[in-house]
Amino acid sequence: MQRDKSDPLSVVTRAPDTDYERIFHPKRVAIAGVSPGGGSGFGTLSLLSLQAMGFEGEIFPVNPKGGEITGLKIYRRVEDIPGKLDLVVVVVAAEESAAVLEAGRRKGAAGGIIITSGFSETATPEGVAREEEIRQIAAKGIRVIGPNCFGIYCPRSGLTFIPNPDLSRESGPVAFLSQSGGMASDYTSMGMWMGLRFSKVVSFGNGADLRESELLWYLGDDTETGVISMYVEGIRDGDEFLKALKSAARKKAVVILKGGLSTAGSRAVVSHTASLGGSRVIWESLLRQAGAVQVRDIQEMAQTCLAFAMLPGRVYRGLSVAGGGGALGIVACDTAEVYGLEVPLLQGSVRDQVASYLPKSGASAVNPIDVANPYTPPEILEKIFRVAAQDNRIDLQVLMLLPHHYKTFAGTRRGWRTFPHEELADRLKSVIRETRKPVVLVMTNTKRGLPDLDVVEVHAKARQTFLAKGIPVFDEIGDALRAIANVNRYYGKGETA
């Protein structure tokens, strides 16, 4: 914990007194609490998740009954495992957790993940005492994540204890710290289809030992992490958190969802993770001062991180907004203004050139650009975007697509399933490369019922195509504009106080 104590606000990089490398990329992991018969207990699920992810290290399942599980020998005690451990995962009963953690520490583990609940979050004297015991073992030299958590998801090492068996092995720039395990599970699931790729996800639950501030110091310096997202309910040490947050936010965007801002929410925080809440106004002010980007729900957090991850880091003030439909563009402009974004009037030769690619009737080149029909060929869209980018007040271009309209013409000459997403992705990618101005897609699906699962499928495919070409996709124009505005809040802020 080396920091420049003489100047508490100076940006100081924390020396790694914790062996994060062995915690996030362990070679030898014990899982205590698997069921010999399989079953769906969290111990077994953790093991299955690890195997489904293709974790390459050695796994040592533990259960006093011994036996075998998915081809692995079950050790009766952690002590019986041969050699040194890097990580011990504790999924036994709450009252047995301390002993297992201590055994792991004696086996040389750099970290312990206690998934089990039944600690301070119960607000019982026994629960609080158990957590204190965990803390004392941690102080002897093992860093603890949990209890009452899902631990770590680290795509690069294949380490995961989040009970989503289908998470990606693909790494990316987004880190996530969460006091809530459910949030970590939902957020990583959303990331899969939205295109968020993670560096490290840590669900730390009650945070008996390692928690928000220390993990922030770590991620601030983590070269794999480009943007940090966090779900926090309460923090242990406000001053320390503020320092860690300021330091991290100077290096990369930190997007924070603070739970428990309301009377009822704050009350619930106490029983959820035994943290203290705090008033909405205090938190908003604190987070703003620290240079963090506060968001209101998991959707905004995910959308904002997508924008941070996929857009070059800068302020985007002026937008071109194009779509096939007048009202679409008008409502987009209205929403843009709410978020402090501009949709500048195109003028002169840029406007004339854009107009030359549009139909004579029903279209508009002023910006918003109304291409007048939802079937505008990719070739035309490419031309329009290349020209509009010449206006130096345009920093970013938004294209609103309504691919479900293609289904309307099933059986007619336009055909269905003909939404040319691959061609469009290629053309937009070349526009982005040449103009050096990003394009953001909004693909709203107004057909989502049982007769339209084919539309859902085309949407999902198209989304993958666009994401693969580096083009972020949002469901609704409001989501996209809010995410862009959040990027602006970060890059547009003055010196942090």
Q: Which of residues 169-208 bind its own copies (CB under 8 A)?
A: 178-180, 182-183, 185-187, 189-190, 192-193
Among 67, 108, 118, 378, binds its own copies (CB under 8 A): 118
Does the protein bind its own copies through residue 117 (CB under 8 A)? yes
- Which residue type sits at 295? V
Among 11, 12, 268, 315, binds its own copies (CB under 8 A): 268
Q: Choose between 228 and 274: whose C-beta lies nearer to its own copies.
A: 274
Does the protein bind its own copies through residue 257 (CB under 8 A)? yes
Q: How far is the CB of 262 from its own copies (least distance, A)?
A: 4
- Do 63 and 84 form a contact (C-beta atoms < 8 A)? no
Torsion angle of C-alpha atoms 491, 201, 289, 269, degrees rounded to 10? 140
Q: How far is the CB of 164 from its own copies (least distance, A)?
A: 6
Q: Tell which positions 309-328 bind its own copies, by CB under 8 A.
A: 324-328
Does the protein bind its own copies through residue 52 (CB under 8 A)? no
Q: How far is the CB of 188 from its own copies (least distance, A)?
A: 9
Tokens 């499928």 label which residue?
A: 457
Compose the 451-480 pattern: x for residues touching its own copies by CB under 8 A, - for all others. xxx--xx--xx-xx-----------xxx--
Taking the C-alpha atoms of residue 395 and residue 440, their distance in angstroms, rounded to an integer, is 11
Q: Tell which positions 55-114 bind its own copies, by CB under 8 A.
A: none
Cα(first)–Cα(last) distance of the chain, in Å?
23
Q: Tell which positions 123-162 bind its own copies, by CB under 8 A.
A: 148
Q: Choose between 156 and 461: whose C-beta lies nearer to its own copies.
A: 461
Among 36, 66, 163, 238, binds its own copies (CB under 8 A): 163
CA atoms within 13 A on the CB side of 158: 16
Does the protein bind its own copies through residue 378 (CB under 8 A)? no
Q: Choose between 108 and 326: whose C-beta lies nearer to its own copies.
A: 326
Among 9, 16, 17, 39, binds its own copies (CB under 8 A): 39
Q: How far is the CB of 326 from its own copies (least distance, A)?
A: 3
Looking at 6-14, 208-216, 252-260, 489-497, which segment touches its own copies (CB under 8 A)?
252-260
- Do 230 and 202 form a contact (C-beta atoms < 8 A)? no
Q: How far is the CB of 220 from its own copies (least distance, A)?
A: 24
Tokens 């019922």 label which residue?
A: 449
Among 22, 272, 437, 482, binds its own copies (CB under 8 A): 272
Number of neighbours of residue 454 by Cβ within 10 angstroms? 14
Q: Choose between 111 and 368: whose C-beta lies nearer to its own copies.
A: 368
Q: Choose between 123 and 139: whose C-beta lies nearer to its own copies.
A: 123
CA atoms within 13 A on the CB side of 316: 28
Looking at 13-21, 217-225, 263-271, 485-493, which segment touches its own copies (CB under 8 A)?
263-271
Q: How far is the CB of 48 from its own copies (least distance, A)?
A: 9
Torsion angle of C-alpha atoms 159, 163, 165, 168, degrees rounded to 10? -50
Among 31, 74, 230, 343, binds its own copies (CB under 8 A): 343
Does the protein bind its own copies through residue 370 (CB under 8 A)? yes
Looking at 2-10, 12-20, 116-124, 391-399, which segment touches its own copies (CB under 8 A)?
116-124
Q: How far is the CB of 489 from its own copies (least distance, A)?
A: 18
Does the protein bind its own copies through residue 12 (CB under 8 A)? no
Looking at 5-13, 139-147, 150-158, 443-451, which segment touches its own copies (CB under 8 A)?
443-451
Q: How many residues belong to the site for its own copies (CB under 8 A)?
A: 97
Q: Choose between 26 and 155: whose C-beta lies nearer to its own copies.
A: 155
Q: Choose between 200 and 463: whose C-beta lies nearer to its own copies.
A: 463
Q: How far is the CB of 491 from its own copies (least distance, A)?
A: 22
Does the protein bind its own copies through residue 347 (CB under 8 A)? no
Q: Choose between 19 and 452: whose C-beta lies nearer to its own copies.
A: 452
